Structure 1
Amino acid sequence: MSDNLLSYEVRNGVAEIRMDDGRANALGHEMIGALNGALDKAEKEASAILLSGREGRFCAGFDLSVMSGGPLAVQELVGSGAKLLTRLYMYPLPVITACTGHALAAGGLLLLASDYRIGAEGTFKIGLNEVAIGMTTPLFLLHFARDRVPAPLFDQATVHARIFDPESAVAAGFLDETAAPDALMSTAAAKAEAMGALPRAAFSGSKRKAHGPTVRHIEDTLSADSSSFDGAH
């Protein structure tokens, strides 16, 4: 499976999903749809997911061409993105992400929603910069951050819009480890194969228990909070 936004291939039981729109891998409606389609396929034929981006660019956030289209356009796109993120957070297979470069805003959220995150070493920017670009942080962003970001860094990572390099992103909860760029994909693939060998029912059941309360909070507040997505509040 492949299209102009991502490629998909199963190797050793791992569904390798690589985003590459030729630019910054922004999350627009087409990319979100392509990712959901790949997740549908992987659930039937793989034991784990390996998500990555193009070299130097993992994901730059939501598509600015859509985000500039007014409040309703913003609400629709960010709402769709939130549903993708909660799907990943509850996905029955292990989700391993190889952060190939910059991961900002929704890119940082993709990291927070993954089960294990390995980042390429380098001068890359990782974090949630919504406040810095004039957007009030959505509640679902705060829920994900509370689960993954250590309490002393929570305000810095969200309200202060602090951006981290890969090394400090480990301490901040966005990554679990880093690897040299030329070893990133092999390291991530090995981790995906190891986690994919875990008993599926036990893994997915435990993941539902661990992540379910967060997802329920997100689902309960998403509609009411959507009015803040345009940054006007």
Structure 2
Amino acid sequence: MSQLVDLNLSEKVAVITLQNGKVNAISHALLDELNAALDKVEEAGVVLVIKGQAGMFSAGYDLATMKESPEAAKKLVQRGSSLTLRLLAFPTPVIAACTGHAVAKGAFILLASDYRLGVDGDFKIGLNEVAIGMTMHHAGIELAKGRLAPVYFNRSVLCAEMYSPEHAVDAGFLDRIVPAEAMDVAIEQIVNFMSQLNMKAHHQTKLKARKPLLESLANAIELDA
């Protein structure tokens, strides 16, 4: 059985790489492995980096499951929303290394991370749910409302506008972009800075700063259920 998530754990950083096929589909199996990896990162108490494969961070939920039945789709989305909630309240800094396209749930993982580093290139980032006939779930709306630049909320959620990495910075999906060849060095620099933080102070401040969003997201997950 192939691994869908690779965990590389060292003294000051844990790198989780999503590796589920060409589009890094978010499936039940991937969520199982990802949550197990997050358990180990929490225990280690180190900075977390989540990255994708070259050219693809993630294109979102596994389509086979989403098309199986409304109940199957609902269950997968609920689990994905719980992951979002976990990342938003994660006890150590969460860095998303967006290695390419980030669509739907892939973009939501960016919105749930503390620092989002993207690779420059001909990539698309955004929430395409409305464009493909899906009504946005309450949890997705709350997360987008809490993390996107307000002027981009309607364009992203209601109009399913997709952005280049450069414009994704303006919208609030990314914090910074670098050329592909500079990605590894940039990640190392951010990790070095983040690892010097007092992790207890970081976590407590995160929970205070995000309290309204965490509460509204938890309520939205219940509403979606």
TM over 0.5: yes
Q: TM-score, normalised by structure 2?
A: 0.96
1:78 paired residue number: 77
Q: 2:214 is matched by which residue type in structure 1? A: V
Q: What residue ranges of structure 2 are gaps of 5+ in the alignment?
A: none
Partners of 1:166 and 1:193 lie apart in 2 by 24
Partners of 1:218 and 1:40 lie apart in 2 by 21
Partners of 2:102 and 2:188 lie apart in 1 by 20
Q: Aligned with 1:119: secondary structure?
A: strand
Give runs of aligned pairs for residues 11-160 of structure 1, distance below 5 A: 11-160=10-159
1:221 paired residue number: 220
Q: 1:107 is matched by which residue type in structure 2? A: G
2:127–2:162 contact (8 Å) kept in structure 1: yes
Partners of 1:197 and 1:65 lie apart in 2 by 42
Q: TM-score, normalised by structure 1?
A: 0.93
Note the alpha carbon deviations across 1:65-110, whole angstroms, 9 max, x for none: 1000111001100000000011000001000011001000000000
In the TM superposition, residue 160 of structure 1 has moved relative to its aligned partner by 0.4
Note the alpha carbon deviations across 1:86-140, whole angstroms, 9 max, x for none: 1000001000011001000000000000000000000001001010011111111
1:97–1:188 contact (8 Å) kept in structure 2: no
In the TM superposition, residue 192 of structure 1 has moved relative to its aligned partner by 2.0
In the TM superposition, residue 188 of structure 1 has moved relative to its aligned partner by 1.5
Q: 1:106 is matched by which residue type in structure 2? A: K
Q: Aligned with 1:152: secondary structure?
A: helix
How much is the aligned-residue C-alpha RMSD, in angstroms? 1.4
Q: Which moved more, 1:64-73 or 1:14-23?
A: 14-23
Partners of 1:107 and 1:156 lie apart in 2 by 18
**Higher relative contact order, structure no. (Cα contacts within 8 Å, ≥ 6 residues apart):** 1
2:136–2:157 contact (8 Å) kept in structure 1: yes
Among all aligned residue pairs of Structure 1 and Structure 2, give the percentage whose two residues are the same amino acid. Answer: 39
Q: What residue ranges of structure 1 are gaps of 5+ in the alignment?
A: 227-233
Partners of 2:120 and 2:30 lie apart in 1 by 26
Partners of 1:186 and 1:87 lie apart in 2 by 27
1:98–1:185 contact (8 Å) kept in structure 2: no
In the TM superposition, residue 22 of structure 1 has moved relative to its aligned partner by 2.9
Partners of 2:61 and 2:138 lie apart in 1 by 16
Displacement over 3 Å in runs of 4+: none
Partners of 2:185 and 2:6 lie apart in 1 by 17
Partners of 2:156 and 2:176 lie apart in 1 by 18
Q: 1:187 is matched by which residue type in structure 2? A: A
Residue 147 to residue 44, structure 1, CA distance change in 2 (3 Å) = same
Q: Aligned with 2:210: secondary structure?
A: helix
Partners of 1:189 and 1:37 lie apart in 2 by 24
Partners of 2:146 and 2:74 lie apart in 1 by 24
Partners of 1:215 and 1:144 lie apart in 2 by 9
Partners of 1:22 and 1:63 lie apart in 2 by 10
